[in-house]
């Protein structure tokens, strides 16, 4: 084994500090609650349906984000659009907007008196106080993760490979699906995971649009403000463990695929 | 190099975004006030206050810091129960605690975390609306429930389990049923507020009101006045505003979340009173006393009145014996009947 260089030592030390900082609160949460409490949380019907609602709404948000965001990522990577830098910056804005402000902004578009709300109500879709409200709040705050990941992924694919596919008889759409998508698969998947995860964590914007039915983040805060820390920890822990396992599973898949490609 | 223009664009968009959303986000600023830096002689004054006291206490602290340049005020605003939790569960240091619901003082704060409390202002339940609310031109303190019962009117209240204004709405409906002699009025009014019109706190309700999603919301007069919104004042027999009607209010009660999920506890009607105290762990006891003396002085009262607080003067102390000596002249006794 090679002797670690000075850089390795210093960087490991610095990195370890941050890992510890990230790990400590999670560990404290894990060790601080007895197994019984976690079991209680997982068998509590209200907690279960809130977590299920969080996971499914985040899934729908991610699905919508994929359908509309991957094409946008491709255009941003490949075409010189008018106002491209503006669009790129705009995509990042939801990340920095305070979340209640995001919720209010959405309310002013999708409320019953506003354009979006009136348009979708023709198809029987209302947002305020309903599940679709949760989905659009999640979509708003998290889609930039997927769009940026898709854009970066497509940028790494050599356009000449797509030209080759075109010379072999594929149309532009065919080349996109048979060359660009498979080669940037890892970026797309990890972007989708990040988007899904960020969607689950959303609280402030959802609260404005839809309080009932409660997603996990809202229920946990509610438990905290109504009953105190002791009753907020177990559902929080259940949510962290569940999302962590889904996270690890999907990361594992994306990593294996990536290695398969490299080999 | 390319990052710079992009960052600039992001900032630009944020500014636009915030500018556009401003009208509805007025009530959202749970601001912290911090002036100057804590230098050698600087002393901190940590004030925890209920959201509805943010503006009056902000003004009080500003003036107090002007009179005492060595003081650096730190204001922290949130729901009354959250503030109490910060003290009881997190052990956060606090010099002056001012809440919108005096009943958190006798329990859980006294006797473990504080010895006394003083009642200094009162509030009342009102119906808040905007110019574009349905039937805004017609509604008044007598016909309000008839208007709210109309099928196309949307009304909302905060969550009874999460916010006192929520369970006070339920109490108000019961009092209204008695006062107007309309059996079944409580149930009828309860049906006018479906789950989708309930939000945890008044902040979110105000957003729904101002965006036209709701026509009327139940809330405090202080919230309406500080937000510059129109409101319907209700008869004092039902709006929980008068300490002298405490007995009448106590004839109604409702069930809210208890001490753990699944448990319920009974809440009895009480007048809505603002209270303050100096917690036992206050790091700057002397300064806290001085601030309270200032707040209750004619000058301080003038500042609070300007922010539309309905003051109780003189302020009433739960227990004159336990009051710090320096504060005895600022309070009268609350009396034996109520604690």
pLDDT tens track for A64-120: 999 999 999 999 999 888 889 999 999 999 988 998 899 999 999 999 889 999 999
Instruction: Provide the chain B residues 86-115 that lie in CB contact (below 8 A) with chain A.
Output: 89
For B40, residues 6+ apart whose C-beta sits below 8 A from its C-beta are: none
Does residue B103 fall inside a structural domain?
A: yes
B157, B110, B144, B160: which is closest to B266 by C-alpha?
Answer: B160
Q: A108 vs B211: CB contact, 8 Å cut-off? A: yes
Contact assignment for B28 to A101 by CB distance below 8 Å: yes
Distance from CA of B20 to the nearest CA of A (A): 8
Same domain, B139 and B247: yes
What pLDDT was estimated at residue A258? 54
pLDDT bin (cut points 50, 70, 90) of residue A63 is very high
Predicted local confidence at residue B40, as pLDDT: 53
pLDDT of residue B247: 94
Under an 8 A CB cutoff, do A96 and B197 touch?
Answer: no
Residue A112: what pLDDT? 87
- Inform me whether the pLDDT recorded for A52 exceeds 60: yes
> Which two structure tokens, joined as six digits, stand for A48?
């279960």
Do residues B257 and B310 both lie within one domain? no
- Quote the percentage of chain A above a pLDDT of 90: 58
* Domain final residue, candidates B250, B268, B286: B268
Same domain, yes or no: B55 and B176: no
Query: Both tokens of residue A205?
Result: 């914007």
Are residues B66 and B110 both part of a single domain? yes
Residues B157 and B261 grouped into a single domain:
yes
The answer to whether position B4 is within a domain reads no
Binary contact (A93, B17; C-beta < 8 A): yes
Q: Find the range with the poorest average confidence among A40-44, A46-50, A200-204, B226-230.
A: A40-44
**B7 in a domain, yes or no?**
no
Q: Which residue has the tokens 């956060």?
A: B92
Residue B141 sits in the same domain as residue B60: no
Contact between B97 and B276 (Cβ < 8 Å): yes
Answer yes or no: do B220 and B93 share one domain: no
Chain A residue at shortest CA distance from B2: A85
How far, rounded to the nearest angstrom, does the alpha carbon of residue B184 sit from its chain's CA centroid?
30
B176 and B211, same domain (yes or no): yes
Is B214 domain-assigned? Answer: yes
Q: Which range has the worst mean pLDDT, A45-54, A218-227, B291-300?
A: A218-227
CATH number of the domain enclosing B155: 3.40.190.10
In this prediction the ipTM stands at 0.72
Nearest by Cα to B218 from B127, B150, B86, B280: B127
Q: Are B172 and B158 in contact (CB under 8 A)?
A: no
Residue with tokens 């910056």: A89
Contact list, B197 vs chain A (CB under 8 Å): 129
**Domains of chain A, start order:** 53-211 (1.10.3720.10)
Whether B105 is covered by a domain: the verdict is yes
Secondary structure of residue B98 in the 3-state scheme: strand
Structural domain contains residue B144 = yes
Which residues in chain A touch residue B79, judged by CB atoms under 8 angstroms apart?
225
Q: Are residues B100 and B232 in the same domain?
A: no
Domain boundary (B268, B291, B323) is at B268
Query: Mean pLDDT across chain A, nearest whole number?
Result: 89
Q: Which residues of A touch B130 (CB under 8 A)?
A: none
B122: which 2 tokens?
Answer: 């009162």
Query: What pLDDT, on the 0 to 100 scale, is given for residue B42?
Result: 85
Position B37 scores a pLDDT of 42
Residues of chain B with confidence (pLDDT) below 70: 1-40, 336-339
pLDDT in the model for residue B28: 31
Q: Best interface-test mutation with A: which of B213, B214, B215, B263 has the largest number of A CBs within 10 A?
A: B213
Q: How far is residue A227's CA from residue A229's CA, in Å, rounded to a whole number?
A: 7
Q: Do B10 and A93 touch (CB under 8 A)?
A: yes
Cα–Cα distance list, B315 to A96, B48, B185 (Å): 44, 19, 36
d(Cα B129, Cα B139) in Å, to the nearest integer? 10
- The reply to whether residue A226 touches residue B162, judged by beta carbons under 8 angstroms, is yes
Is residue B245 in a domain? yes
**Full domain range(s) for residue B310:** 18-122+273-336
A and B: number of Cβ contacts within 8 A: 112
pLDDT of B35 reads 38
Tally of structural domains, chain B? 2
A129 and B197 within 8 Å at the Cβ level: the answer is yes
Assess if residue B68 is contained within a domain.
yes
Residues B247 and B139 in one domain: yes
- The three-state (H, E, C) secondary structure of chain A, written as one string: CCCCCHHHHHHHHHHHHHHHHHHHHHHHHHHHCCHHHHHHHHHCHHHHHHHHHHHHHHHHHHHHHHHHHHHHHHHHHHCCCCCHHHHHHHHHHHHHCCHHHHHHHHHHHHCCCCHHHHHHHCCCCCCCCCHHHHHHHHHHHHHHHHHHHHHHHHHCCCHHHHHHHHHCCCCHHHHHHHHHHHHCHHHHHHHHHHHHHHHHHCCHHHHHHCCCCCCHHHHHHHHHHHHCHHHHHHHHHHHHHHHHHHHHHHHHHHHHHHHHHHC
State whether B142 and B58 are in the same domain.
Answer: no
Which of B218, B245, B268 is the last residue before a domain boundary?
B268
Do B295 and B226 belong together in one domain?
A: no
């Amino acid at each position: 084994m090679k002797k670690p260089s000075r850089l390795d030592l210093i960087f490991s030390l610095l990195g370890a500090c941050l890992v510890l900082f990230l790990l400590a609160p999670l560990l404290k949460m894990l060790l601080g609650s007895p197994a019984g409490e976690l079991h209680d949380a997982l068998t509590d019907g209200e907690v279960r349906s809130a977590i299920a609602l969080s996971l499914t709404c985040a899934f729908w948000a991610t699905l919508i984000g994929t359908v509309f965001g991957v094409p946008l990522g491709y255009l941003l990577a490949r075409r010189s659009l008018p106002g491209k830098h503006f669009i790129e910056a705009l995509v990042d804005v939801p990340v920095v907007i305070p979340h209640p402000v995001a919720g209010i902004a959405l309310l002013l578009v999708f409320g019953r008196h506003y354009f979006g709300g009136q348009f979708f109500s023709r198809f029987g879709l209302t947002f305020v106080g309903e599940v679709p409200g949760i989905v659009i709040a999640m979509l708003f705050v998290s889609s930039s993760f997927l769009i940026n990941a898709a854009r970066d992924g497509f940028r790494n694919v050599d356009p000449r490979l797509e030209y080759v596919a075109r010379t072999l008889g594929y149309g532009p759409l065919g080349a996109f699906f048979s060359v660009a998508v498979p080669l940037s698969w890892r970026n797309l998947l990890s972007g989708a995971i990040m988007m899904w995860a960020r969607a689950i964590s959303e609280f402030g914007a959802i609260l404005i649009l839809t309080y009932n039915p409660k997603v996990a983040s809202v229920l946990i805060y509610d438990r905290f403000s109504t009953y105190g820390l002791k009753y907020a920890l177990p559902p929080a822990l259940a949510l962290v463990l569940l999302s962590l396992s889904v996270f690890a599973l999907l990361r594992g898949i994306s990593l294996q695929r990536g290695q398969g490609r490299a080999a | 190099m390319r990052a710079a223009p992009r960052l600039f664009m992001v900032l630009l968009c944020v500014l636009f975004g915030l500018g556009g959303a401003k009208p509805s986000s007025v009530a959202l600023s749970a601001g912290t006030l911090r002036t100057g830096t804590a230098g050698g002689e600087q002393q901190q004054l940590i004030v925890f206050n209920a959201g509805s006291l943010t503006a009056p206490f902000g003004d009080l602290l500003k003036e107090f810091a002007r009179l005492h340049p060595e003081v650096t005020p730190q204001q922290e605003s949130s729901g009354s129960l959250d503030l109490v939790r910060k003290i009881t569960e997190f052990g956060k240091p606090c010099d002056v605690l001012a809440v919108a619901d005096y009943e958190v003082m006798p329990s859980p704060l006294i006797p473990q975390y504080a010895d006394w409390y003083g009642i200094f202002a009162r509030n009342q339940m009102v119906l808040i609306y905007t110019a574009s609310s349905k039937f805004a031109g017609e509604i008044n303190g007598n016909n309000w429930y008839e208007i709210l019962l109309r099928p196309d009117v949307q009304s909302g209240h905060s969550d009874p389990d999460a916010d006192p204004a929520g369970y006070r709405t339920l109490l108000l409906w019961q009092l209204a049923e008695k006062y107007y002699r309309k059996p079944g009025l409580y149930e009828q009014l309860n049906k006018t507020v479906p789950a989708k019109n309930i939000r945890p706190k008044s902040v979110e309700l105000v957003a729904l009101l101002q965006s036209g999603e709701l026509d009327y919301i139940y809330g405090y007069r202080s919230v309406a006045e500080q937000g510059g919104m129109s409101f319907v004042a209700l008869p004092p027999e039902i709006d929980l505003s008068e300490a002298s009607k405490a007995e009448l209010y106590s004839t109604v009660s409702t069930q809210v979340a208890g001490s753990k999920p699944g448990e319920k506890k009974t809440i009895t009607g009480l007048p809505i009173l603002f209270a303050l105290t100096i917690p036992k762990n206050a790091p700057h006891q002397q300064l806290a006393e001085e601030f309270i003396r200032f707040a209750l002085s004619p000058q301080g009262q003038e500042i609070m009145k300007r922010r539309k607080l309905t003051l109780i003067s003189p302020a009433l102390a739960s227990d004159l014996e336990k009051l710090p000596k320096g504060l005895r002249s600022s309070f009268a006794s609350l009396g034996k009947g109520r604690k």
